[in-house]
Structure formats: C-alpha cells, structure tokens
Amino acid sequence: MSFSGRIAVVTGGASGIGAACCRLLAARGARVVVADLDTARAQALAAELLGMALTLDVASRDANEAAAAQVEADLGPVDLLVTSAGIIQRPVRAEAMTEAEVEQVVHVDQIGTWNSAVAFGTRMARRGHGAVVTIASIAGMRSMPLHAYSPAKAAVIEMTRCLAAEWGRSGVRVNAVSPGYTLTPALGAAIAAGERDPSLLENSSALGRMVTPEDIAEAVAFLASDAARSITGVNLPVDAGWLVAPSWGAYGGLPPARGNAP
C-alpha cells in the first residue's frame, strides 16, 4: 500500500489522529502537508516528516480555498485529503450548553469538514482523480449526552455520502472513518479532568479496550489507497467493538474471555 509520489493534506494534522495519519502516510511514501491551527506543532511535525506545514483554520471557507491554492502552487495537485480537524465537547445536559459552545462545535466539526472537503475535493474532481477521507465518530451513530458534537458528526457521515455521489463520476472517492473512544491528547485531557472514566470506556467495547490513533490511521490509509478503489460513500467504524456491545447488557453483559480452555 504505497503512496509514493502522492501529495496528502491532513487537517488537524499536528496532533492525535491527524498526526498519526501524517506519520503513516509519510512512511508509505506520501508528501504530507500538516495543516493545523497550531503553527508551531505543525511545523515541528512537518520538519520531522520532510513535509510541508500549513496554518489553517478549517472553520473559514476562505482559508481553506487559500490553502488548497497554496499547496497546489508550492507542491502540485493534491491526491489525498484527510479531514481530521475537530474539537470535542463536555458531556452535559442540553440546557447547560451555551449557544456559543454549540456554534463552536458545529462550526469546526461540521462546517470545517465541509469547507476543507469542498476546497480540496472540487479541485480533485476537476482533475478527475483523488480520495477524501473524513473523520466522523461513533458519536454520530448513537444517542449520547453530546448535544452538539453528536449531531455535527452525524452530519459529517451524511455529507460524506453526498459528496461521494457528487464526485464519483469525476474519479473522486469520499469515505468516512468513525473512531470509537481513541486515546488522543484531547481524550486524555478529558480523563484527567474527570470528564471521562477510562474503565467505562474500555469495558463498554467488545474488545475491552480503547482505540489508538494508529488504529485510525491504518483505516484511513486503506480507504485512501488503491486497494479501496471500488469503495466510496462508506462509513467505517473503528471502535474496538463499541457499537456491538451495549445491547448485550440486557442479557447479562458480554461473555468473559475464554482463555486457553478447550
């Protein structure tokens, strides 16, 4: 699964899932553009990977358009886009969320994804080839006390399907990866602040563990590769089996590990 000679842009690429995607794509031969609002961290990772750093506020449509034009001018046509930029929210009652908090989550996670996908994907469609992988979430597939984040991620899943149909005849594939509870710096901070209980997150999945950013990067790389040339419009959960586990609670919970018993 080689990306030799290809240019890949990863938004939110300076940390967490985005950084893992940058490292894996670079290791497989891609020229990686680390696009992030945190300029210093983007520059540090780009230097490590011999790539390009780009300061980008995904919430701005104009900034995304300017970024797409800049990458083309400096490096050439973009072959791959990973939209990993995003923020999380506090799990609170609906009435406890301020309008500003809702707007921020929607603006970054939903509209920001749209802005990046359209800016880079439209150029791919005009050239007749390319792949876009959006980062959604299992939160967009189930009810949770995340009253802005969950709807925003559900919108990302649906916009992925819409864009897959929009650009399919133009040679551009668009797919989503929906991470489960992933050990990113953001989740680590939430755990440290007492907003998440790691034992609950681990025990609520079929595999009994959380996901790593590297797990997500592997799924992204597959969907972006030629091995997935006939796959478009899908949403791939990478969640250690979280989606399949909760309904077993009505039957006494998941079976324990069988060990080496015959």
Respond yes or no: is residue 251 known to be catalytic: no
How many Å separate Cα 78 from the centre of its chain?
Answer: 18
Local structure of 260: helix, strand or coil: coil
How many Å separate Cα 141 from the centre of its chain?
Answer: 15
Question: Whole-angstrom distance between the N-terminal and C-terminal Cα of the chain?
Answer: 38
CB neighbour class for 7 (10 Å; exposed up to 12, middle 13-18, buried from 19)? buried
Is residue 82 a contact partner of residue 9, using CB atoms and an 8 Å limit? yes
Q: What are phi and psi of 162, to 5 degrees?
A: -60, -45
Residue found by looking up tokens 């991620």 in the block: 153
Strand order of the β-sheet with 80-83 is: 52-55, 31-36, 7-11, 80-83, 130-135, 172-179, 235-238
The catalytic residue among 120, 149, 167, 181 is 149
**Sequence letter at residue 132:** V
Among residues 26, 51, 27, which one has the least CA distance to residue 35? Answer: 51
- Catalytic residue list: 149
